[in-house]
Structure 1
């Protein structure tokens, strides 16, 4: 893309100091693959830009921003204007690398990101990406939206990127239902008449909203028996899955169960998510079974 950017001249600047691992809040871990190395099993230079670009996707997840939907809401797109890398040491086959990324400056229409590729604490490669916010139809620059500017600045300052709200179906049902339909019906193929039930009307619902007000995760809490809660319908937007948003939502539902005096919470977990619930303190109860073509397991946690 070729557009004028008066706020960010590309003239030569003093060489910045190499970043340290402690400078980054967001990391993406990867392992060097055979296809990425030369005959000496050293990573080809160009692959480091691919590593950094992959970490950029992780950065958007850390912001709780589904990229495509967020850009549509913000009325623009992010285009790379300039990418530079500096090589300090080599990565080799099977190395575990941590790629750090942070936003260091937001101009009128551009954003500057710093990257660091680390093996342990050793910096192997540093880089800089200059992105321009632009109209996707004309590819001409636009001012960075104030909401996006605040999100970048807030994240780098350590602020929370989501807010979990709890309430009844009348309050949260529209957003919860939209997420559940996307995950359970469209993604997993569960019939809509199975996903929706009459229990929504009496359940306590939780929805996690990002800083653009978009719902990114949901779940509900039922009263299974006196003193026993049951958590269900846990769903996280696919594009931000793998960050901590599902755990924050689960913790909010557990807290809601504790607040009403429950002594135990139960749930029916999809087997693919069993590890997630184990890490949150849930233990398996009984044997697995199949529901709607998906293997499930009962789990419980004492409060």
Structure 2
């Protein structure tokens, strides 16, 4: 087993509280590491777990969890936890895992889940749609689609995400979130394979050759999986297609690092917008 066997690798550092009197990671924590990586696996599938299970009418229950120890991890080691969906039966799903420190394999593991009725905990067939998503991910298929278009086409999906993130999570007043610019903007909506919207952004043109990007939002459970990058690049391509030479945006200061990694640079002094610290950022397209 090597790192290359896994499409999903979750990185973590060993914390002091996870080391035992032998100065190595206590054996039981490796199962926690696999479980932590499983949350990343669901993000990589673009599936918010609870919402997805509720929609499908079932849930997953652990039937078996086994760990084999080859070497020990120590305090502050940087580990990569790999998970792969190995087999899907009628009602069971088998995952295999490996925990690596660099290229050294420390731990191998197996997790078997049973898909079941949450009320009776009796097994159910794994839905074909979910089976296809697992299988598609493991062979490298995309888990999301990004649609770019007008407000009258994407309004319902974009509103759902922005209401969740800006109004519900950040406490922005609804009257400050919605404006007339939505009607003329180019919008992007990122959705998973079930058509559930996970992120959105919009593009205005305040002056010739300038694109103004805004209302960028990704739902909380899906952050950190590259979905913001997909949205941003979809709108950059839209700006290029209409001949814009520069993209500008008002970034929340907490997201400034993200935009810097996407090629944007700060411009001017920080300012408040709807009570949240912002800074203007710009990216040349020429």
Which residue of structure 2 lines up, in the alignment, with residue 208 of structure 1? 190
1:34 Cα deviation (Å)? 0.9
Which whole-Å CA distance do the structure 2 matches of 1:235 and 1:40 have between them? 45
After the TM superposition, which residues 1-303 of structure 1 pair with which residues of structure 2 at under 5 Å, given as runs?
19-303=1-285
> Unpaired segments of 5 or more residues in structure 1?
1-18
Q: Kindly provide the CA deviation profile for residues 204-229 of structure 1, in whole angstroms up to 9, marking residues without a partner as x.
A: 00001111111111000001210101
Q: Secondary structure at the residue paired with 2:190?
A: strand
Q: Kindly provide the CA deviation profile for residues 9-51 of structure 1, in whole angstroms up to 9, marking residues without a partner as x.
A: xxxxxxxxxx211000111111111111112320000000000
1:167 Cα deviation (Å)? 0.9
1:294 Cα deviation (Å)? 1.2
1:162 Cα deviation (Å)? 0.4
Q: Secondary structure at the residue paired with 1:298?
A: strand
Check the 8 A contact 1:116/1:123 in 2, yes or no: yes
Which whole-Å CA distance do the structure 2 matches of 1:217 and 1:117 have between them? 31
Q: Secondary structure at the residue paired with 2:90?
A: coil
Instruction: Provide the alpha-carbon RMSD of the alignment.
Output: 0.7
Q: Secondary structure at the residue paired with 1:51?
A: helix
Check the 8 A contact 1:67/1:239 in 2, yes or no: no
Which whole-Å CA distance do the structure 2 matches of 1:31 and 1:120 have between them? 12
Q: Kindly provide the CA deviation profile for residues 164-219 of structure 1, in whole angstroms up to 9, marking residues without a partner as x.
A: 00111111010100100100111111111111111100000000111111111100
Q: Kindly provide the CA deviation profile for residues 216-262 of structure 1, in whole angstroms up to 9, marking residues without a partner as x.
A: 11000001210101110001011111101110011001000000110
The two structures have a TM-score, normalised by structure 1, of 0.93
1:273 Cα deviation (Å)? 0.7
Q: Secondary structure at the residue paired with 2:123?
A: coil
Q: Secondary structure at the residue paired with 1:180?
A: helix
Check the 8 A contact 1:112/1:131 in 2, yes or no: yes
Q: Secondary structure at the residue paired with 2:157?
A: helix
